[in-house]
Amino acid sequence: MSILKELKYSLKSIIKNAGYDVEDIIFATSSRKDLGDYQINDAMRLSKIYNENPRDIAEKIVNILKKDPRFINVNIAGPGFINLTLSPYFLQTALNQILDDFNLNIDKVPKKNIFMDYGGANVAKTLHVGHLRSANIGEAIKRLAKYLGLEVISDVHFGDIGRQSGMVISEIKKRYPTLAYFDENYTGNYEEIDFNITEEELGEIYPIASIAAKENKERMEEVVEITKELEEGNKAYTALWNKIKDISISDIKQVYKDINVVFDLYEGETDCYPYIPEVIDYLEKNNYLKESEDAQIMDVKEEQDTSPMPPLVVIKRNGGTLYATRDIATIYSRLKRFDINEIWYFADNRQALYFEQIFRAVKKSKLVPKDLKLEFFGFGTLNGEDKKPFKTRDGNVMSLKELIKILEEETTKRLNKDMVEEEKQQETAKKIAIAALKYADLIPYRETDYVFSPEKFTSLDGKTGPFLLYSTIRMKSLLEKASIKKYALKKFKNEIDRAPALLLLDFPQILTNCLEEKSLNELTDYIYKLTSSYNTFYNENKIIAETDEDLKESWIALTHLVYKTNMEILNILGINVPEKM
């Protein structure tokens, strides 16, 4: 258990011993550091329960705390707020314990098996900024969950079937009509057809086909027909689509790798196909499906609903499956194969209603056990300066690759070319650009929209990825220069070196809050505060040249702890630190 949590428990029992039977106490980091490090805000609440003056209650508690060697400057403010400050000895001992065992500054959570579904890139379609958010937030939450002791299996859930498949195949047919895939008299093996398409060409095919199909009715009919045949297992289309899938997926994987996103499973919507007959059969036999305009739908409305809850279409009019059918069968397949307590989905807020329908459908039909927890975590959009979803200058969706390129150009401009060897400059600029993007993306609360601002994101000052990388690298180089092997905190000089020390104790609570909220905003905020507070101390003092040996050693120890904490956080956020910058 973390030191601060232990302290909180011990304060709770002190209050209990003073005669107040409390379940939990309101123990918070103080915003008025001049009054104390922490506040206990229970006296007002207890006064109502025990019918006693809050100041008298506070007085009783304070009298005990004043004798406690862990605290100094215990005082009462206003109607009964208790302020207290940690004694230098207590604080320094706490930090030395963390130096010995970093686990003392982490509060693990009870073990559970989580299945995480994030990323969600679509095959043969451009990876866009919405996919960045899903991948970035999902990856960080996955790392955080594991860090705090949960077992996690992650799956990208590729969109590997649907209208886009028909579009792409119809466009390839138009460009290469003589290919054997389209020859009805072909009797050979479809897997052996010699056909290759570059990633570039594939990238331009979908948008072109999509426009063509929208403008031309016959073309759209062809697309629908091809999609249907593909779904029904047409051998020629399947072989062609598999080829396209391979090319597209290896490209998508490379982008994910660039942004430090890795999955345990790279499955797609079609991986549930073997389970679909079973699932549909079950739903039909148990009368969960009903016919509506030739489609099969499922009612998911509940009595207490206050907003519209449309039925879920499970089978299309032409008998084909939909995104929803595949999500239902995917849940079924995951539960068959893995031991799962909870499934977490990360997708755009606009899919919130859809997921609610899915969750209700599988619960209502008892396709999943009652106690399986299904949760959707939506996120806001990345907007342009006009506060609308970010687009390219010509109005197209901004691809993730383009986005990274813009930031790479911006970081290259600002790169300190004297610090980084020439052959490493490009790689370093890219690392910094990705850090800038990932960090900026995790600053707002998950559901909040934010504005893409390359200059701001890549700035070396302020709440940015580059600022954190730069500061963290500087800590590392100080530690290398100091070359002291064993160090401990022996004393503090003043409030300036004490400030980052105190902040370190907040780390476990911040992690717990972020996991609870499935949002990284508190953690991005915390690392910024910790780093700024450390930098203030760094700028005020000459650490290496300090002649008071105890002080110097203490400062190295402090640097070590802040550096280690920063590295742990950056790793959770999925941000790599370059050697130099």
Nearest-angstrom CA–CA distance, 96 and 252: 45
Q: How far is the CB of 411 from ligand ARG (least distance, A)?
A: 28
Q: How far is the CB of 122 from ligand ARG (least distance, A)?
A: 5
DSSP letters spanning 145-172: HHHTT-EEEEE--BB-SSHHHHHHHHHH
> 385-415 as b/e, with b when 16 or more CB fall inside 10 Å?
eeeebbeeeeeebbbbeebbebbbebbbeeb
Q: How far is the CB of 324 from ligand ARG (least distance, A)?
A: 9
Q: How far is the CB of 433 from ligand ARG (least distance, A)?
A: 24
Interface residue with ligand ARG, options 159, 166, 378, 466 (CB under 6 A): 159
Residue list 104-133, contact with ligand ARG (CB under 6 A): 117, 120, 122
For residue 517 the two structure tokens come to 């909220």
Nearest-angstrom CA–CA distance, 575 and 581: 15
Nearest residue (CB) to ligand ARG, 138 versus 574 = 138
For residue 79 the two structure tokens come to 């109607």
Q: How far is the CB of 379 from ligand ARG (least distance, A)?
A: 12
Q: How far is the CB of 191 from ligand ARG (least distance, A)?
A: 27
Nearest residue (CB) to ligand ARG, 245 versus 498 = 245
DSSP letters spanning 319-360: S-B-HHHHHHHHHHHHHHHS--SEEEEEEEGGGHHHHHHHHH
Nearest residue (CB) to ligand ARG, 378 versus 500 = 378
Per-position x/- string for 342-371, each x denoting binding to ligand ARG as judged by CB under 6 A, each - no binding: ---x-x------------------------
Nearest-angstrom CA–CA distance, 120 and 132: 10
Whether 36 and 85 have beta carbons less than 8 Å apart is answered as yes
Interface residue with ligand ARG, options 133, 157, 219, 463 (CB under 6 A): 157
Q: Which of 153, 78, 79 has the alpha carbon at shortest distance from 113?
A: 153
Q: How far is CA 223 from CA 171, 209, 249, 330, 559, in A?
A: 9, 9, 22, 25, 61
Q: Which of 200, 209, 203 has the alpha carbon at shortest distance from 172?
A: 209
Q: Which of 407, 394, 487, 490 has the alpha carbon at shortest distance from 441?
A: 407
Q: How far is the CB of 293 from ligand ARG (least distance, A)?
A: 24
Give the E-state strand segments of 351-401 in sequence order.
Answer: 373-379, 382-383
Nearest residue (CB) to ligand ARG, 135 versus 169 = 135
Nearest-angstrom CA–CA distance, 63 and 82: 11
The count of chain residues that interact with ligand ARG, using the rule CB under 6 A, is 8
Q: How far is the CB of 117 from ligand ARG (least distance, A)?
A: 5
The DSSP H or E segment spanning 285 is: helix 276-285
Give SS3 for 527.
helix
Q: What are phi and psi of 419, to 5 degrees?
A: -85, -30
Nearest-angstrom CA–CA distance, 468 and 456: 14
* 23 C-beta neighbours (distance < 10 Å), count: 5
Q: What are phi and psi of 321, to 5 degrees?
A: -90, 165
Nearest residue (CB) to ligand ARG, 400 versus 503 = 400
For residue 6 the two structure tokens come to 């232990």
Residue list 308-327, contact with ligand ARG (CB under 6 A): 327
Residue list 199-218, contact with ligand ARG (CB under 6 A): none
Nearest residue (CB) to ligand ARG, 268 versus 508 = 268
Nearest residue (CB) to ligand ARG, 36 versus 378 = 378
Nearest residue (CB) to ligand ARG, 12 versus 125 = 125
Nearest residue (CB) to ligand ARG, 117 versus 139 = 117
For residue 148 the two structure tokens come to 């705090």
Nearest residue (CB) to ligand ARG, 142 versus 157 = 157
Q: How far is the CB of 130 from ligand ARG (least distance, A)?
A: 7
Q: How far is the CB of 119 from ligand ARG (least distance, A)?
A: 8
Q: How far is the CB of 465 from ligand ARG (least distance, A)?
A: 26
State which residue has the least CB distance to ligand ARG: 120
For residue 462 the two structure tokens come to 């302020």
Q: How far is the CB of 166 from ligand ARG (least distance, A)?
A: 16
Nearest residue (CB) to ligand ARG, 230 versus 347 = 347
Nearest residue (CB) to ligand ARG, 157 versus 518 = 157
Nearest residue (CB) to ligand ARG, 327 versus 408 = 327
Is 378 a binding residue for ligand ARG by CB under 6 A? The answer is: no
Q: How far is the CB of 259 from ligand ARG (least distance, A)?
A: 16
Q: Where are the alpha helices (DSSP H) in 421-494?
A: 422-442, 454-458, 465-482
Nearest-angstrom CA–CA distance, 281 and 291: 15
Interface residues with ligand ARG (CB under 6 A)?
117, 120, 122, 157, 159, 327, 345, 347
